[in-house]
Amino acid sequence: MELLKNTLDKVMRGLLTKKTGSSGAGPEQWLKKTLTKKELGHIKVKYFSKGVLGLSVDSSAWLYILSLKKEELVNKLKKENPGLKNINLRIGEIS
């Protein structure tokens, strides 16, 4: 039996894809193009709303590292999605 959290996550991602008009190119794909595999292993996309991408980071060390790269990351991600305005980084679960 699938967890309610996972089901809601899939539904919300489906709505996000329809809302942005992108064909499968969501925040995860944008990040795959801009971050290393090591960095991707420490983050999870939580939301993308009103031009703000919310990322959950697994530790304070990675929060610091990604905070240092935030401006560069925003500029690279804007090339993938011009509607992106900012990134919010928070410590949280990435599972």
CATH number of the domain to which 36 belongs: 3.30.300.180
CA gap 57, 91 in Å, rounded: 5
| Token digits of residue 62 | 């990675």
Summarised one tens digit per residue, pLDDT across range 35-61 is: 999 999 999 999 999 999 999 999 999
pTM value?
Answer: 0.70
Q: Are 90 and 54 in contact, with CB atoms under 8 Å apart? A: yes
Mean pLDDT of 23-31: 78
- Could you tell me the residue range of the domain that residue 16 belongs to? 4-91
Q: Is the dihedral of CA 44, 15, 25, 85 positive or negative?
A: negative
Helix axis angle, 60-68 relative to 70-80, nearest 10°? 70
Q: How many domains does the chain have?
A: 1
pLDDT band at 22 (very low <50, low <70, confident <90, very high): very low
Q: Is 24 helix (H, G, I), strand (E, B) or coil?
A: coil
| Token digits of residue 8 | 């809601």
